[in-house]
């Protein structure tokens, strides 16, 4: 019996993602705007933790609101247009921290080093806890990448579009996100209902 995507990959439902981002936006801390920019970019672009650390100011075209995404693990680099809310948060972060060096990492730790995967995993655990997300197996930064993929698949994006968006070189890596998520099952059964009415 083939297991469902929910049993193989961990992602946030639409409601959980909303709760997570509300928790980040509501938190009042010294790095709040940095954290919000990181999480919004990771979700919008479908980036791994290690790929967040690669982003430099030179990768961001503020005029067009586009971010050049350097991807690892054999994935293809691409340029993603940011949604207006993510662009505004990123612009606010750059202005607040007076980031002007084109070649410096955009997101750094308190030691002024590229933000680490360990720090990002710590942050998502903190914000998931604040958001009261009950399933602690989702408390990993990589869950955001899976969340992006599932939400885009559910939105109607086709498999080739999603393959490009995530930077997958092989479409087989993208297929998992189309294997009957909850919304896709609902659409399938709706089609069956229409078919049965005709018999």
The C-alpha torsion from 154 through 157 and 163 to 164, rounded to 10°, is -140
Tell me: the pLDDT tens digits for 23-80?
999 999 999 999 999 999 999 999 999 999 999 999 999 999 999 999 999 999 999 9
Residue 199, pLDDT score: 58
Query: What are the boundaries of each domain within the chain?
Result: 10-197
Binning the chain into helix, strand and coil, the percentages to the nearest 5 are 55, 5, 35
More confident residue, 153 or 91: 91
Query: In the structure, what pLDDT confidence band is assigned to residue 9 with cuts at 50, 70 and 90?
Result: confident
pLDDT tens per residue, range 107-132: 998 888 899 999 999 999 999 999 99
Residue 170, classed as helix, strand or coil, is coil
Select from 1.10.443.10, 2.60.40.10, 3.10.100.10, 3.30.1540.10 the CATH code of 10-197. 1.10.443.10
CA angle 63, 34, 103 (to 5 degrees): 55
pLDDT above 90 covers a percentage of the chain that reads: 73
Rounded CA-CA distance 36/34 in Å is 5
Stated as kind and residue range, the H or E segment containing 79 is strand 78-81
Taking the C-alpha atoms of residue 32 and residue 58, their distance in angstroms, rounded to an integer, is: 23
Cα–Cα distances (Å) from 153 to 22, 44, 80, 166, 182, in that order, read: 23, 13, 17, 11, 11
- Give the N- to C-terminal CA distance of the chain in Å, as an integer: 30
């Amino acid at each position: 019996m083939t297991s469902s995507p929910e049993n193989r990959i961990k992602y946030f439902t639409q409601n959980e993602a909303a709760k997570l981002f509300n928790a980040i936006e509501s938190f009042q801390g010294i790095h709040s705007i940095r954290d919000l920019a990181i999480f919004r970019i990771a979700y919008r672009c479908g980036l791994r933790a290690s790929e967040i650390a690669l982003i430099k100011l030179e990768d961001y075209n503020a005029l067009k609101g586009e971010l050049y995404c350097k991807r690892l693990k054999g994935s293809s680099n691409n340029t993603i247009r940011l949604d207006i809310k993510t662009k505004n948060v990123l612009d606010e972060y750059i202005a607040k921290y007076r980031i002007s060096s084109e070649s410096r990492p955009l997101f750094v730790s308190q030691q002024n080093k590229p933000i680490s995967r360990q720090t990002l995993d710590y942050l998502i655990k903190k914000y998931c806890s604040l958001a009261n997300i009950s399933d602690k197996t989702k408390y990993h930064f990589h869950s955001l990448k899976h969340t992006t993929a599932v939400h885009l698949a559910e939105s109607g994006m086709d498999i080739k579009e999603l393959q490009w968006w995530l930077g997958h070189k092989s479409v087989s890596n993208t297929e998992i996100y189309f294997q009957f998520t909850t919304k896709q099952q609902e659409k399938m059964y709706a089609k069956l209902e229409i078919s049965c009415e005709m018999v």
